[in-house]
Amino acid sequence: MASPKRYAPQDIVGILPPLLTPFDEKEEIVESVLRDEVRFMLAQGVHGLVPGGSAGEGNALSTEEVRRVVGITCEEANGRVPVIAGIIANSTREAIQKAKAVSDLGVSALQITPVHYIYKNDDASMIRHFAAIRDAVDIPIIIYNVIPWNYLSVTLLLRLMREVPGIFGVKQSASDVKSMADLLLMAEPEMRIYAAIDALLYPTLAMGAHGSISQILAAVPGPCVEMWNLVQQGEHERARELHNRLLKVWNAISADNRLAVTKHVLSLQGIPVGKPRSPLAPASAEQQHNARAALAELLGADKVTPVN
């Protein structure tokens, strides 16, 4: 069904957008739109694809649906870029089930959250959790450090990458630049630290992040690829100017229902991904207006299409 090609962890770098999962009015996955979304992302020059993450509503997808979304992505990407499968689960057992469900599809890595229902886990429990998943499937792992009440410290993240074979990276998602800086300072050369602070794409890339997996990338992948290229080339004045325009887009998106607004922004670029699954509120008329204005300033008004 999918390309068996897998990329080595050291080659998973750059702009790695989380894919939005397209739904119809009955909240069923729309395969044709997902394929269009993958082709759109590839045409924008992205360096990898991440289906099933937070932006892809992985928390609301069944194991069967995760396999379907990841499988379609791998098939459409056809080995041109690495695919990193998102795993959002509330137990080690469930995480292993989802990991096994995508293990034959050709994914290059798994992006896995700590468990997220209320309870804080101690360091030993988190080490056991990720080690058990790694033992169950021979696929490299990126830890998605995003759960506020189960947030993993820099010290623990480094321990996990050093002590559990196969864990090679961290997606650092809190608005804590100091933690990002410490990870980049203390990580070994083979480790990969990915930025996921949407409002600070330029600063985190300039600090030396190995790439980004972040919702702003799902909304406007082309300018984010441009940002990566500018930073790699040392064109910091141009990068800062682009940062200001990207920040206006993120400010228009950022809200409790930011996923709904992100979906609207992508739909304005010709990829009708629909609304998020209930109960998340759809984008309001004011949010849609502000998002359209910011997107037009970033891309040019001629690149913004009507949404039916």
204-226 in b/e form (b: 16+ CB < 10 A) is bbbbebbbbbbbbbbbbbbbbbb
98, 171, 263, 275: which is the annotated catalytic residue? 171
Strand, coil or helix: what is 127? Answer: helix
Phi, psi of 156 (to 5 degrees): -70, -40
DSSP codes of every residue in 135-177:
HHS---EEEEE--GGGPPPHHHHHHHHHHSTTEEEEEE-SS-H
Q: Find, among 104, 96, 185, 182, the residue nearest to 145 by Cα.
A: 182
DSSP codes of every residue in 74-101:
HHHHTTSS-BEEEE--SSHHHHHHHHHH
Peptide bond into 148 cis (omega under 30): no
Report the C-alpha dihedral over residues 67, 73, 77, 82, rounded to 10 degrees. -70
Helix axes 123-136, 92-102, angle to 10 degrees: 30
| 82 vs 194: CA distance, rounded Å | 15
7, 26, 120, 144: which is the annotated catalytic residue? 144
172 DSSP β-pair partners: 145, 195
Residue pair 249/222 in contact by the 8 Å Cβ criterion: no
The answer to whether residue 151 is catalytic is no
| 50 vs 82: CA distance, rounded Å | 9
50 DSSP β-pair partners: 18
The answer to whether residue 171 is catalytic is yes
Residues designated as active site:
144, 171
